[in-house]
Structure 1
Amino acid sequence: MSTDFTDPHLLDALGTLASRAGAAIMGHYGGAASVKGDGSPVTAADHAAERVILAGLADLLPDVPVLAEEAAAAGLWPVCEGTLVAVDPLDGTREFISQNGEFTVNIGLIAGGRPVAGVVYAPALSRLWIGAAGKAEAMDLPPGASIGDAKDRRTIRTRPLPPAGPVALVSRSHPDAATAAYYSDRGIAEQRAVGSSLKYTLIAEGAADVTARFASITEWDIAAAHAVLVAAGGEMTRPDGLPLAYGRADRQFRTDPFIACSGAYAAAGRR
């Protein structure tokens, strides 16, 4: 398999891999959860999905370091120099536990300290997003299915700003005062609560315009969706407009605060 992270054949293979991880997740839907050392929840689904993804990456990208959430929780951090695969096998574990469907599988490909390609899969919604090299796609794909079985595969783009003003997405499980103040300062009236990396894919699809996070987050949480959003014409930057840096082993792969938005929102200077 080519090591070109924007190779469409590689991205399709990763889409199928995410679908198979989604099937592993759905096999544990409704199961019990435990608590990790950092206080966050974890389930058998998290571990099952990560096993599927790591096995697949060993075949597809055998020489690329992998940053994976549950491996990192066990103390297994990759050695890398700006090139790696960032894996969140189940983003939105709290949403998975509550069974609201708003959880995702995330595989982000990072080169030169930035996400250049990404695959995001929502197994409960049978929805897959892929983005790289200026092209983002969305499609319907049941858990466990090969990407060749995808339906309604189409190119997606962020939208113009609505006449009524931007629509903001807020975290369903992690609301914070700084984000609320950011929206208030910009007169953003309409806000919708959404879990996991679905926030960024919805902006990429043109269903919303902006989401902000002023607390640190881990690279595996956003790398894949960052790539999809940029490929769809959007942006994800620090609040001052500077790029987010990835591959930061020196800070255990924690990100800076960021604004994720449509191209139109950024062009209007709303940041």
Structure 2
Amino acid sequence: MIKNICVLARLAGDAIMSIYNNNINCKINKKNDKSPVTNADIKSNDIIIRGLSSLTPSIPILSEENLIPWEVRKNWQVYWLIDPLDGTKEFIKHNGEFTINIALIEQGIPKLGVVYAPALNAMYYAIQGKAWKMLDGKPIKQIHSCYIYPPSVAVSRSHNCMNEMNEFLLGLNNYNIIKIGSSLKFCLIAEGKIQFYPRFSFTNIWDTGAGHAIALAAGAHIHDWNGKTLNYIPRQSLLNPKFLVSVNSCYL
């Protein structure tokens, strides 16, 4: 299964890159919430949904670009959670920091996750409590989160809450700041390059599901600011609470 999902992510990535590498083909629109959506988002979404529907026809799919009414999904026990292009703003800025996120949710827990950054040719994936990275076709290596001093703190390029962030940073004696977009923040935690990712603005569940699976399998901890583990049990709101991803569960 995990190999098939990685192949599917690459196919979607190829479609995204065909637009990314030729800006004249990029079409940008606004959603109802004023966030941007491009034809690359839509093409990637179509490829992933067709692929998952073929691979696992009995498992429903929730995607940012294919929202399902609450009355339909409220009793889902297992489902696919998709962001076909996470970091659309980074895609538009042409900085390469965008990903394809595919997660399998079982009983509210992300059991399988694939995050593919096509512009970086970096594939991260996790299943059965283990996480791996493949870069530029080089041999696959298992990855683990780890604490390094001074720690690095991930900060979103597009969403910052400076008062809360500054308060968090005051609790660290020393630190480095790394600004990066999309679910790559989860992946860098998973491979030990970042130690904290504090999030003070709201995210949607498709922004975090796949990255959550990878960071968790690599040994990291993902909690809201009350110490509760993020979960993906179907609920009317598609928003996550504010959260912290860290290599130290005792920080909260």
The one-character-per-residue Cα deviations of 1:206-257 (angstroms, maximum 9, x if unpaired) are 1110101122211110000100001111111112221112133322x22111
2:81 counterpart of 1:86: yes
Q: 1: distance between equivalents of 2:223 and 2:14?
A: 32
* TM-score normalised by structure 1 residue count: 0.86
Q: 1: distance between equivalents of 2:65 and 2:36?
A: 11
Secondary structure of 2:158's partner? coil
Aligned residue number for residue 7 of structure 1: none
1:154 alignment partner AA: K
Aligned residue number for residue 143 of structure 2: 156
Which residue of 202, 224, 229 corresponds with 1:243?
A: 229
The alpha carbon displacement at 1:188 in A equals 4.8
Identity of aligned residues (%): 37
Given that 2:160 and 2:201 are in contact with CA atoms closer than 8 Å, whether structure 1 keeps it comes out as: no
The one-character-per-residue Cα deviations of 1:84-109 (angstroms, maximum 9, x if unpaired) are 11100000000000110000000011
2:221 counterpart of 1:221: no
Aligned residue number for residue 216 of structure 2: 230
Secondary structure of 1:125's partner? coil
2:17 alignment partner AA: M
2:30 counterpart of 1:45: no
Given that 1:172 and 1:195 are in contact with CA atoms closer than 8 Å, whether structure 2 keeps it comes out as: yes
* TM-score normalised by structure 2 residue count: 0.92
Aligned residue number for residue 17 of structure 1: 8
* Aligned-CA RMSD value: 1.6
Aligned residue number for residue 255 of structure 1: 240
| Unmatched runs of 5 consecutive residues or more in structure 1 | 1-9, 142-149
Aligned residue number for residue 99 of structure 1: 94
Aligned residue number for residue 119 of structure 2: 124
The alpha carbon displacement at 1:175 in A equals 1.3
2:170 counterpart of 1:184: yes
- Equivalent residue pairs, number: 245
Given that 2:160 and 2:200 are in contact with CA atoms closer than 8 Å, whether structure 1 keeps it comes out as: no
The alpha carbon displacement at 1:83 in A equals 1.8
2:156 alignment partner AA: S
The one-character-per-residue Cα deviations of 1:121-155 (angstroms, maximum 9, x if unpaired) are 000000100112221000025xxxxxxxx422110
1:162 alignment partner AA: I
The one-character-per-residue Cα deviations of 1:28-84 (angstroms, maximum 9, x if unpaired) are 113242111101001000000000000000111111111100112xx6665242321
Q: 2: distance between equivalents of 1:181 and 1:32?
A: 40
Q: 1: distance between equivalents of 2:134 and 2:174?
A: 30
Q: 1: distance between equivalents of 2:221 and 2:65?
A: 28
Secondary structure of 2:10's partner? helix
